[in-house]
Amino acid sequence: MSFRDPANTQINGKASRQGPTPEMLSAFYHLMLFMSGDLNRGILGPFPEQDVSNDVSILRNWLQSGDPLMPNRGLWAIGDGFVESLWDEDVGSPQEQFSTDALASSFGTRATGSRPGNTETTPDLYLLPW
pLDDT category at 115 given cuts 50, 70, 90 is low
Taking residue 82's Cβ as centre, other Cβ atoms within 10 Å add up to 22
When mean pLDDT is compared across 21-30, 47-56, 64-73, 105-114, the lowest value belongs to 105-114
92-102, pLDDT tens digit by residue?
Answer: 888 888 988 88
Q: What is the DSSP string of 6-36?
A: TT-TTTTT----SS--HHHHHHH-SEEEEEE
* Segment 37-62 mean pLDDT: 81
Q: Indicate the angle between helix axes 55-64 and 94-101, nearest 10 degrees.
A: 30
Tell me the domain boundaries of the chain. Answer: 22-127
Evaluate if residue 61 carries a pLDDT over 70: yes
8-42, pLDDT tens digit by residue?
Answer: 777 666 656 677 888 889 899 999 999 988 877 78
What does pTM read for this prediction? 0.69
Phi/psi of residue 28, nearest 5 degrees: -120, -15
The pLDDT mean for the chain works out to 76
Evaluate if residue 112 carries a pLDDT over 50: no
- pLDDT, residue 111, reads 39
- pLDDT, residue 125, reads 60
